[in-house]
Amino acid sequence: MQSLDDLQVMGRRVLLRSDLNVPLDLTGTGQITDDGRIRASLPVISKLSDRGARVIILAHLGRPKGGTFEERAAGGPSLRPVAARLGELLGRPVSFATDVAGPSAEETAFSLGDEDVAVLENVRFEPAETSKDDAERGALAQRLARLGEVYVGDGFGAVHRKHASVYDLPLLLPHAAGDLVRDEVAVLRQLTTDPARPFVVVLGGKKPSDKLAVIGNLLNLADRILIGGGMAYTFLAAQGYEVGNSVLEAEQIPAVREVMAEAERRGVELVLPVDLVVATHFAPDAEHSVVPVTEIPPDREGVDAGPQTRALFAVFEFPAFAAGTRALAEAVAAVDGLTVVGGGDSAAAVRALGIPEDSYSHISTGGGASLEYLEGKTLPGLVALEEGP
């Protein structure tokens, strides 16, 4: 992939695909609850602006519903608060277009001066952005291409999507990968081709169905895989343990048993919790106690790692049940070697716990993109950045 350092951007309109998909408090103020992805995008935005580019940012937010632009725009979420936060972090005004490829976007794009920055409205307000029809996506990409002269792909969190602004658009313009994308790929390539030993992976999340393909591929690479979070209860159930009212994907138990058997054949150690904090219900003030995994009461549910496994496993939901997350995050931060934090929830947990981000070698912005890369899948956004004009 060509680097943006190889592009001539002075005085040119640069369409920059960023990942600004931040969580919002949709039950109250609508405020951004974690601006980590915005801050991760700042270096490339600033680099382009400092080189005299006219930066036009394309990004998505959430999963808008509706069959038309108008329906989706009415339901939101809008990128307006994200653009405002970006302006605060940059310390200067950021223009905002109220549409994606319409009159407001055109007026905004063509009125920019050198070093100016603008954000277009949520690209997913355009149904064609996520369409499975190549012609529909291509038509939107053509409209977007008229707004810019070059394209930079820096939204790693979206490169696993065959979307108009991720896949079709870079094929129409001179393009390059942003530094964030190149850094993500470099780290993931190292993890999947020549990892330092021992290679230990900690996996969390609620459902094993989301992670079994990743685990299957990691059995070719890892020395040890620690299974935590909600999906640990399905693994415990697969071993025949009572898990009470804990999160459980019963239909995945046969597949989990196959993965466990394959790990044993390959000599990869799958590590599960040995004790847990169990509660009467999932709430911060729930009555709770610590029990071995062999003695989970049928009327209780697991909510956190117990003291014997807190350096390994965690469920990050309520501060009252976040001891496991803190122990794990601090243990990983103390490792003398390559340490990678992947997934939106994991990165948010590290920031919420106040652990300095530079304590880790790399904090991924990828989420689903990172998982699909680790599964060995081809990511359309990366393919597009490697091809085209």
Q: What is the DSSP string of 173-190?
A: S-EEE-HHHHHHHHHHHH
The predicted structure's pLDDT at residue 355? 66
Name the pTM for this structure.
Answer: 0.79
> Residue 358 carries which DSSP code?
G
Tell me the per-residue pLDDT of 291-328, one tens digit each, with 9 for 90 and over: 989 899 999 998 888 888 775 544 433 344 345 555 65
Instruction: Give exposure, 222-251, as e/b (b: 16+ Cβ within 10 Å).
Output: beebbbbbbbbbbbbbbeebebbbbbbbee
Q: Are 70 and 52 in contact (CB under 8 A)?
A: no
pLDDT in tens, 7-19: 999 999 999 999 9
Rounded Cα gap, residues 37 and 32, in angstroms: 11
Active site residue 182: no
Give the active site residue among 13, 37, 182, 300: 37
Buried b (16+ CB within 10 A) or exposed e, 323-346: bbbbbbbeebbeeeeebbbbbbbb
The number of beta carbons lying within 10 Å of the beta carbon of residue 173 is 18
Q: Is the pLDDT of residue 245 over 60?
A: yes
| Mean pLDDT lowest among 2-6, 190-194, 236-240 | 190-194
Catalytic residue (choose from 52, 87, 102, 368): 368
pLDDT at 315: 47
60-71 burial: b if 16+ Cβ within 10 Å, else e: bbbebeeeebee
Task: State residue 58 phi and psi, 5-degree precision.
Answer: -105, 135
**Residue 194 near residue 183 (C-beta atoms within 8 A):** no
Is 211 a residue of the active site?
no
Helix (H) or strand (E) holding 109, with range, is: helix 103-110
What is residue 379's DSSP assignment? P
Q: Choose, from 207, 216, 224, 388, the residue flagged as catalytic.
A: 207
Residue 256's pLDDT band, with cuts at 50, 70 and 90, is: very high
| Residues 4/152, Cβ–Cβ less than 8 Å | yes
132 CB burial (10 A radius; 0-12, 13-18, 19+):
exposed
Reported as half-sphere exposure (CB side, CA atoms, 13 A), residue 39 has a value of: 10
Q: What was the pLDDT predicted at 200?
A: 81
d(CA 128, CA 144): 12
Query: pLDDT (tens digit, 9 = 90+) per residue, 150-197?
Result: 999 999 989 999 999 999 999 999 999 999 999 989 888 888 888 877
In the annotation, is 37 catalytic? yes
Q: Check if 388 is active-site.
A: no
Q: Which of 344, 366, 367, 381 is catalytic?
A: 344
